[in-house]
Structure 1
Amino acid sequence: MMYARRWAQIWLAIGFLWFLVAIALAPSNKIYQQGLLLFLWLPTLVFLWSARAVFAQVWSAQRGLCLVVFLLLGWSALSLGWSAADDLGREFKRLMYISVFLMFFPILASLGVQRIMQLLLWGGIGLGVAALYSIIYYYGFLDKPWSARLWGVGEISHPILGAYVIAAAVIWMLHWPPQQRWLQALWGVALLLLGAFLVLCQSRGAALGLLISLVAMPLWCRDRRSCVISAATIVAAIAGFIVMYSMIMERGSSFRPEIFKASLQMIAEHPWLGLGLGSFYEVSAAGQQFDHTHNMFTHIAIELGIPGMLLWLAVWLCTLREIWKTRDTAFGKGLMGLWLFSTLAMQFDAASLTGTPRAEWFISWLPVGLATVLVWVRARAPGCDKISGSI
């Protein structure tokens, strides 16, 4: 099996790390996309035929998830027939990107769940480096006041979307701590840097999503460590709210209720077909124009109609179903936390499902892709699938 050879697994590992870390550290978005083409899309296509038995296993074990993903991508492609997008070929190509991205993960599973968690750990450490560089560059070289909202580097430069990427890394880092002492030091420093980035971004949506996800952690982890994390999160949230009360409240609701109401009116105008994939639209609310709905589900409903929104909801719920089956494993617990955080993040922003790989993919397609790896977690013998909580 070509995909299981050592050189192939190194290629796959580099591709996954590139997706996780280069989103912040790549010199430009063009280089980030080109790197994905070389390290992620290309190996997936090269190993596609040799890994056909792997895809058969995924289809057999996760038929419901596979079916709704196919239906969603198919409906998205069909909507190009009535879309007003400037470049229909580009929109179709993006659907192919999503397809190849999701096929990448069953092949990546050949590395083993333990190694995938290690890659995510190193990805989190890499994002910690990006967080440190962002803080030094923004407040040091650009001489911005500490009260200013932090804009990160690379594709995490948006204070909201960048915060979602960093918060997602905090989730998986806390669920999968390392065992080696020297690595624990790096892990701890990276967590502090990621936390500082989140605070300085002043993204209330990311902070609230992270808060709820960590407070709820004992529900699926059911151990003393998760209870400590939950309690510490509550204490930190109370302290942060007291210290930053005026900063938190001065921006009000950021027009989210008004945007949501206007979005529902737009959905009612084209409820069944939507505007079509990639169609440009603006939301008029509170006397202002917004370039998207600041909500994943209403955005999909505007572009793909109610059928498209229901198909994405089905994809998301099927992903939860697969994760829930493995909630007694370390990998399943980590994905449970990531799924909950992503669900909350979708309510406040991240209104892009079919764009080129970007920050939004960390809370949309990444959880779906990682869920396919669970096929091999469940396939292990009962004594083997209890993956250790530490790496």
Structure 2
Amino acid sequence: MPGERCCMSNDSACSNSVMGLSVRKLELPHWLAIWLLIGVAWFLVAVAWMPTNKLYQQGLVAFLWLPALLTVFVRPAFCIELVRANKFLMLTFAGLFVWSSISLLIAEPSLFLKELKRQLYVGFFLLGVAAFVRHNERLAYQTLIFAALLLALAAVVSTVDFYVLQGYPLRLRLQGIGQLSHPILGGYVIGLVAAWLACGRVNLWVRLLALVVLLVFMLLTQSRGVWLAFLAVCVLMPLWQSSRRGWLPLVLLVLAGAPLFFVFIDVVLARGFSYRPEIWVKSLDMISLAPVWGVGFAADYHIVGGGGKVFDHSHNLLLHVAIMSGIPAVLMWLTIWAGVAWQGWRHRKTPLGSLLCASVVFSSVACLFDASSLWGTPRPEWFLTWLPLGIALGLGRTSVPAAVSQT
């Protein structure tokens, strides 16, 4: 009857309206997504282009942590779904968070509330990156590639500024602009984005030019750990990229690196192993003194090497975490990292998944030699630790989407 058809029509319209409302609750508002885009781009690019660390931190508060916090209130259903899609990683991260907090409370109770904000910074960062990636995976991939190109430009500016404008000799280790001023950490940031471009889908000539610039920067820092990390990406890339492009970075590394390698060979060999074996042995001794809870992640420790040389960290992320928060914290971090690697492997056929695979390989090698912080304030080391985790959380899905061609 006409009346019945009208009721059925109204019920259908009401049902569609409810479904539409539910779908919108699982999506970010356009204005919030743009805000997160700015924040992620700021984290990636301003690390080089901001003159001071204070400005860099302030920008992260305004452009990334604040919208991440708002996401919890504006789209709670979105956040809940993000957690559900990443139960394993979320639970393990929560375990690491709590364990590190307890170790800090035991070792340095007076610093607990003050230092707890560092962990909250990490949490907001992960939420911001994951929300942005989940909202638009294609845009997230393009943001990483665009940031890599801007950092390639920063590498050029750094090289010209250091060797030409400031007049330092070529055999002195390059110190970049902004937060890339540390030869080792700056080299790792540049090396990581070079790995992104190596497996990214970018115009061939743009990619070649940017890669050459980035490789020259890496070599001028004279950091051997960077070379090993990038070489590992080059060798293993064919595992997740079946095309011939997987061998291109290795060829470029040889062509660009061979001439400079012979220029710096005596400087590199003169540094030997840079006290690494001795530092690691002393670190193990420190771990044996507090193997369960560590000394607290806010504590300062020093390792005295041969000849009285003092080092302020273990030059190995796993040893550093063990010293700070105990062996259980290391096991939890390794579990998290295995989850990140698995997420990258599951999405290896997608552009962003390929970049995550490269990040895991590069960071795994880099953290064996130099990275020394988990809960510190945002710094270049976050590119090697929390950024891959944030991307992995954003990629968390019940099913893996088909690969999409992106340029």
Q: TM-score, normalised by structure 2?
A: 0.89
| 2:393 counterpart SS class | helix
- What is the CA–CA distance in structure 1 between the aligned matches of 2:282 and 2:76, rounded to whole Å? 46
Q: 1:175 to 1:185 in 2, by over 3 A?
A: same
Provide the C-alpha distance between the structure 2 equivalents of 1:103 and 1:217, rounded to a whole number of angstroms: 28
The partner residue of 1:166 within 181, 190, 198 is 190
**8 Å contact 1:172–1:334 — kept in the other structure?**
yes
**Closer, same or farther: CA 53–261 of 1 in aligned 2, 3 Å:** same
Residues 305-341 of structure 1, C-alpha deviation per residue, up to 9 Å, x if partnerless? 1111111111111111222222232222221111010
1:109 partnered with 2:129: no
1:175 corresponds to which residue? 199
1:21-40 to structure 2, matched below 5 A, reads: 21-40=45-64
- SS of structure 2 residue aligned to 1:356: coil
Taking structure 1 as the reference length, the TM-score comes to: 0.92
- Would the alpha carbon gap of residues 371 and 344 (structure 1) be closer, same or farther in structure 2, given more than 3 Å must change? same
1:283-294 equivalent positions in 2, closer than 5 A: 283-286=303-306, 287-294=308-315
Match for residue 345 of structure 1?
366
CA RMSD across the alignment: 2.0
Match of 2:375?
A: 354
2:403 counterpart residue number: 386
1:328 paired residue number: 349
Retained in 2: the 8 A contact 1:215–1:233? no
Q: Which residue of 2 aligns with 1:193?
A: 213
Checking the alignment, whether the CA contact within 8 Å between 1:215 and 1:231 is kept in structure 2 is no
Consecutive unaligned residues in structure 1, runs of 5 or more: none
Matching residue within 47, 60, 85 for 2:71: 47
What is the alpha-carbon distance in structure 2 between the residues aligned to residue 228 and residue 121 of structure 1?
A: 17
State the identity as a percent: 37
1:1-391 → structure 2 map (5 Å cutoff) = 1=24, 4-84=28-108, 87-179=111-203, 186-234=206-254, 241-286=261-306, 287-376=308-397, 378=399, 380=401, 385-388=402-405, 390-391=406-407
Q: CA deviation at 1:217?
A: 0.8
One-letter code of the match for 2:104?
Answer: L
Contact 1:216 1:230 (C-alpha < 8 Å) held by counterparts: no
Count matched residues. Answer: 382
SS of the residue aligned with 2:299?
coil
Quote how far apart the aligned CAs of 1:228 are. Answer: 3.6
Is the 8 Å Cα contact of residues 279 and 305 (structure 2) preserved in structure 1? yes
Query: Structure 2 CA distance, aligned partners of 1:250 and 1:44?
Result: 47
Q: Is the 8 A contact 2:201 2:351 kept in 1?
A: no
8 A Cα contact 1:217 1:230, kept in partner: no
Tell me: CA distance 1:291–1:278, structure 2 relative to 1, closer, same or farther (3 Å). Answer: same
* Distance of 1:132 and 1:210 partners within structure 2: 19
Name the stretch that deviates more: 219-228 or 91-100. Answer: 219-228
Q: Retained in 2: the 8 A contact 1:218–1:230?
A: no
When residues 267 and 387 of structure 1 are mapped into structure 2, their CA distance, relative to the original with a 3 A threshold, is same
1:129–1:231 distance in 2 versus 1, CA, 3 Å = closer
**Cα 1:173/1:376, change in 2 over 3 Å:** farther
**1:132-180 deviation digits (Å, cap 9, x = unpaired):** 221121112221001110011111110000000000101111221325x
Uncovered stretches (5+) of structure 2, i.e. residues with no partner: 1-23
